[in-house]
Structure 1
Amino acid sequence: MNLKCVVTRFLNNKKNEFVQYMKFIKDNGVEHKVINIYPNMRYQTFEGFGGALTESSGYVYSKMDKKQKHQLISTYFDEDNMNYRLARIHLDSCDFSLGHYEAMSDKEDINMYSFSLKRSEKYIFPLVDDVQKYMGRPIEIMVSPWSPPAFMKTNGERNHGGSLKEEYKEFWARYLCKYIVEFRNRGYNVKRMSIQNEPRAVQIWDSCIYSAKEEKEFLRDYLYPEMIKNNLTDVEIFIWDHNKERIFERACEIIDEDTNHMITGIAFHWYSGDHFEALNLVNEKFPDKKLILSEACIEYSHYSKEDRLFNAQRYAHDIIGNLNNGMSAFYDWNILLDENGGPNHVGNCCDAPFLYDIQEGKLIERKTLSYIKHFSHYIKPGAVRIGYSKYTDALDVTAFENPDKSIVLIILNRFSDDFQTSIRLYEEYTNLFIPSESIITCVINR
């Protein structure tokens, strides 16, 4: 067996990437400092990586020249690069929009004659079109609403939470289905949706509160029946779409004998911490449900824009922990923002793998891009997570077998110490040096 290792480090703020090649030899009884790989222990199948194509991303993209646009899209969506295959799009405005908007705002228009995707057509669709042209096929899209139109809500506005009025539940279900039908009529492959983005968060931007009971009843009594009417039952439905610390309770409260067949899985975010055990609990109780991370980003209100290595390491640590506890798809947040981490119509700026300095006309690659690539490039769609064991909790580790039978082992070292380890597989082993503050992807071919 042969081992190829790609090692990425940032020394004095400069990227240092190199490749090592090793051969496996017969296991001589190696015991200490070992990472074992067990391909016969098989878990979830992984579907792919992607990011959000927000109005903010589309707006910044529109400011770039042709060469920069090609660099951005080829970096993300080329099979030989990051190999993104998924996209998430907000329905109506979110915080990463240029301002509030709704496809329609006339409460008297019960037939939705005034329904319009004019805002999506201006910045979001041109970005999606360029992505699909580059890929040569439709990209798989997940859609998520941040808020119903203001007239449908108890507080009469898009912001500050509020709830969906009882008398508008059927209307809102028709509205969501109309969005999906209109997307599909334009050639956009809407594969999945979440019912509500962050249904427990009262935000200063677009938001709406659902209790578990309300989310279940809306799905069961309004949304799913409307999807049947519109021949949309092939669209995968994901509940929750919020942080991990309450994902288990939410799943237990919503999934029952009435809703089980309606729900494909549970979507989650990362903003409240690791909570990897919560994913495992969901996986144990609901083994037929997919777990997808639908949003992650470095918020400048909580983390420093300049602590780029720490931020990249947080991403890798979270991705590994989520993978090891059942995650089957990963959607990063904005694929592109401006130099300030926006535009954001309420000032909730954050980092992205690519920033674009509009004044300087410069595309800026962030460290998170290199770290995400260690996963998205090497773990192919259709890969199956396999078993492993490690000798120390100082290293984060995950392992997959790709459809071509190659084995991918990813090792994250977030600390200032170097490590020496042996990789053991099929009664053979090889030695591997793990530098301080590095991420390593090992590809093993038999």
Structure 2
Amino acid sequence: MLLFYAILFIIPSLIYGQYECNVRETEYGRVCVCNSTYCDIVPPLETLLSGHYQLYSTSKSSPGFSSVTGSFPTESSSSATVTITVGNVSDTLQTIIGFGGAFTDSFGINLLSLPDDVQQKLLYSYFGQNGIQYNLGRVPIGGTDFSTRPYTYSDDDLDTFELQSEDYSYKIPVIQKALGFNSNIRLFASPWSSPASTKTSNSITISGELKDEYSQWWADYHIKFLKAYEENNITFWGLTTQNEAFDGFLSVNIPNIKYTAARMVTWIKDFLGPTIRNSSYSDLKIITHDDNRAVLPYLNWFVLSDDDALNYIDGIGLHWYSDILIPPSSIEFAKSDKKDLFILGTEACNGYIRILGIHAVELGSWLRGMNYLNNILDDLSYNVTGWTDWNLALDESGGPTYIDNNVDAPIIVNSSSGEFYKQPMFYVMGHFSKFVVPDSARVVSSASNDKVKSMVFKRPDGKIVVTISNASANDITVEIDIEGVSGVINIAGHSVNTFLYKA
């Protein structure tokens, strides 16, 4: 029996790798390389005794996860660069839903381009026990710009509904494998476009509204999608009302349906909401907006002010593409004084601002990892409950995408060499998804200055998590004071760190 348990303990390391990053220098920084023979995993969380801590670190010069342990209290240091104080660990704010990414066609295509054993390593890196344990997954309803063609499930005949080859090749089997590593993934579905004939533009990609006579048909279409995936043993936690409804007002060639705020109110209260609530999927979380900060005022003035629509809404989805212009304080527009709604980040990626000469993929970029970190912390500071990345993996050009909308991803696949690269973005996401587990609560905290960015959480198991980033090039000393018990830790320059403490 002891041998059996010993084998169980070492199997993940034998199959998926060891803790150290297999570092490769790139033009833009450093990545961790995974292939048939090696892939780094996360050092296991120790069983901490009271007063003990474990510190996980990722830095610009040392990618991957490193881990050290220690105990509090330690001798207070008057030379500490910054002090992070938690007065009462029961003084909590929002509850965390989770962190994850999207199961796009492009992700499936890239995953399947790798040898079978490397495919397993990639999925394990995201979802496995010794991976970063993503627990959120976004699933497109039909095709997106990260497909090889525009498509829906009723393109040839509106009286039929058929999942496409992309579902059976790139989405369903991949999601099933991910669920094999983590059965607690919360999946949420997002629609891009209805069939061309149901839109005023008669095109999936050209801007167009849903024709009024197809409103109920389109609501029923969502039920058919949920049922089709359920027949393949995939169930959903949530559903967004429309991916970026305001894309329809732009010439972007992305599959779309254009909704004014007033039309979105009608769609929710008269069609989608009643159809979902009167179906066998009545417990599904309905997430509206699924769009950028820039158009949040319209959400507040129209959708959230309509009591009938609000009755069906559970949460608000946020994309990050206007965040470089719109401050996080705008998230206040996503709040209602009539109903407690969760706010969830539902899409983000780097490399999308091509007009500025930025490359779609900048392999190993530490700056792009910090973009993720800062945006997550900004969002969470305004009571956002989680954050969902866009494509889980892309190729070296940032695709495939049939409209050449190439962007970056936390994992980049090199199919010709049978390997993939974990970027700093991957490890930044892991500092949240791995340690700030679902149902953790953000804790009120303060810092003595702005030398670091920090945030504190209390996990369901009682451990305290302190996320700390150091944007400077210099190592610093940080004092952490938790309800009067304090200690000092050293934080490397250009690093992100997770401090876990057992009170």
Superposition TM-score, scaled by structure 1 size: 0.92
Q: CA RMSD in A?
A: 2.3
1:74 is aligned with what amino acid?
Y
Alpha-carbon offset, residue 96 of structure 1: 0.6
Q: Any idea what the Cα deviations from partners look like across 1:25-77, whole Å, max 9, x if unmatched?
A: 58799998321114132111112221111111111111111211111111111
Instruction: Say whether residues 1:251 and 2:300 are aligned partners.
Output: yes
Equivalence for 1:351: 408
2:272 to 210, 219, 223: 223
Cross-structure match for 2:96? 46
Q: 2:373·2:428 contact (CA, 8 Å) conserved in 1?
A: yes
Q: Which runs of 4+ in 1 moved over 6 A?
A: 26-32
Could you tell me which amino acid in structure 2 is paired with residue 63 of structure 1? S
Which residue matches 2:390? 333
Contact 1:93 1:101 (C-alpha < 8 Å) held by counterparts: yes
1:138-287 map, 5 Å: 139-201=185-247, 202=250, 203-255=252-304, 256-273=306-323, 275-283=327-335, 285=337
2:149 to 99, 103, 111: 99
Aligned residues of 1:26 and 1:428 also touching (Cα < 8 A): no
Give the drift of 1:222.
1.3
**Normalization by structure 2: what TM-score?**
0.82
Q: CA deviation at 1:221?
A: 0.9
Match of 1:312 among 343, 359, 369: 369
| d(CA) in 1 for partners of 2:323, 2:201 | 30
Q: For residues 297 and 114 of structure 1, what CA distance do their matches in structure 2 show?
A: 31
Q: How does 1:74-89 map to 2 (within 5 A)?
A: 74-89=124-139
Instruction: Work out the number of aligned pairs and report it.
Output: 441
CA distances 1:327-380 after superposition (whole Å, capped 9, x unpaired):
212211111111211111111111111111122222121111111111111111
Structure 1 pair 287/2, CA: closer, same or farther in 2 (3 Å)? farther
Contact 1:40–1:386, Cα closer than 8 Å, also in 2:
yes
* Secondary structure in 2 matching 1:223: helix
1:127 to 170, 174, 179: 174
Q: Is the 8 A contact 2:141 2:225 kept in 1?
A: yes
Could you report, residue by residue, the CA deviation over 1:249-303 in whole angstroms, capped at 9, with x for unpaired residues?
Answer: 4134202321222000100011111632122453474661011111111125444
Tell me, in whole angstroms, the C-alpha distance in 1 between the residues paired with 2:479 and 2:388. 33
Give 1:411's aligned amino acid.
I
| 1:115 and 2:167 are equivalent in the alignment | no
Measured in 1, the distance between the counterparts of 2:82 and 2:417 equals 49
AA aligned opposite 1:115: E
Counterpart CA distance in 1 for 2:202 and 2:162 is 19
The 2-side partners of 1:113 and 1:31 are apart by 67
User: Unaligned regions of 5+ residues in structure 2, if any?
Assistant: 1-50
Equivalent-residue separation in structure 2 for 1:45 and 1:138 (angstroms): 17
- Per the alignment, residue 48 of structure 2 pairs with none
Equivalent-residue separation in structure 2 for 1:96 and 1:363 (angstroms): 19
Counterpart of 2:154 in 1: which secondary structure?
coil
Give, in whole Å, the separation in 2 of the partners of 1:28 and 1:317.
28
Correspondence for 2:121 among 52, 67, 71 = 71
- Residues 318-397 of structure 1 mapped to structure 2, 5 A cutoff: 318-397=375-454
Q: Is 1:423 aligned with 2:470?
A: no
SS of residue matched to 1:121: helix
Q: Secondary structure at the match of 2:86?
A: strand
- For residue 103 of structure 1, report the CA deviation from its aligned partner: 0.5
Does the Cα contact within 8 Å between 1:36 and 1:424 map onto a contact in 2?
yes
Assess if the C-alpha contact under 8 Å between 1:27 and 1:428 holds in 2: no
1:258 is paired with a residue whose SS is helix
Q: Supply the distance in 1 between the matched residues of 2:281 and 2:300 (Cα, whole angstroms).
A: 23
Matched, 1:297 2:346: no
Query: Contact 2:300–2:333 (CA<8 Å) still a contact in 1?
Result: no
Aligned to 2:72: 23
- Judging changes above 3 Å, is the alpha-carbon distance between structure 1 residues 27 and 40 closer, same or farther for their aligned structure 2 residues? farther
Amino acid at match of 1:235: L
CA deviation vs aligned residue, 1:100-155 (integer Å, no higher than 9, x gap): 11101245x4xx335344431122111112112233x3632110011111111111
Cα separation, 1, equivalents of 2:176 and 2:77: 55
State the one-letter code of the partner of 2:166: R
Greater strand share, 1 or 2?
A: 1
Give 1:15 deviation, angstroms. 5.4
Please tell me whether the aligned partners of residues 27 and 424 of structure 1 are also in contact (alpha carbons under 8 angstroms): no
Change (3 A) 1:409 1:24: same
- Where structure 1 has 5 or more consecutive residues not aligned to the other structure, the ranges are none
The residue type paired with residue 108 of structure 2 is: G
Aligned 8 A contact 1:242 1:267 in 2 = yes
- Contact kept, 8 Å, 2:315 with 2:342, in 1: the verdict is yes
SS at match of 1:190: coil
Please give the alpha-carbon distance, in whole angstroms, between the structure 2 residues aligned to 1:114 and 1:153: 17
Deviations 1:299-325 (A, max 9, x none): 254444337100000101111111221
- Preserved contact between residue 139 and residue 189 of structure 1 (Cα < 8 Å): no
Equivalents in 2 of 1:88, 1:389: separation in Å?
Answer: 34
